[in-house]
Amino acid sequence: GAGVSQSPSNKVTEKGKDVELRCDPISGHTALYWYRQSLGQGLEFLIYFQGNSAPDKSGLPSDRFSAERTGGSVSTLTIQRTQQEDSAVYLCASSLRSGQTGSTLAKNIQYFGAGTRLSVL
């Protein structure tokens, strides 16, 4: 697609319910990131997928959070037994490739979706 697509754009759920958030990255992008942003705050890294490598889950706040990326494309972030403190905007980003040197440097640039605003009542 033309950009990173996230769905739903808004999600209201009751405490204790499970939710699934979807991210469809830019076609051809091998790296995919999930972030959480609480109101008026910066971005909190959650998880990172790079190609077929094992994901970096170091940012997941609890075992209620999980994510998968099927076929190296679409990713789903699942939050089980939601709590009120899970309320936030969940942002997904993709990049062409993680790289550090020379012409691959620009591939560190991340392209963001519009986010999913999650409200847990």
Partner 1 sequence: SQQGEEDPQALSIQEGENATMNCSYKTSINNLQWYRQNSGRGLVHLILIRSNEREKHSGRLRVTLDTSKKSSSLLITASRAADTASYFCATVPEYGNKLVFGAGTILRVKS
Question: Interface with partner 1 by CB under 8 A: which residues?
Answer: 4, 31, 33, 35, 37, 39, 41-45, 48, 50, 56, 89, 91, 93, 98-100, 105-106, 108-115
- For 80, phi then psi, to 5°, come to -95, 150
Least distance (Å) between residue 71 CB and partner 1: 22
Distance of CA 83 to the CA centre of its chain: 18
Least distance (Å) between residue 55 CB and partner 1: 12
Nearer to partner 1, 20 or 56 (CB): 56
Nearer to partner 1, 43 or 74 (CB): 43
Least distance (Å) between residue 16 CB and partner 1: 26
Nearer to partner 1, 20 or 55 (CB): 55
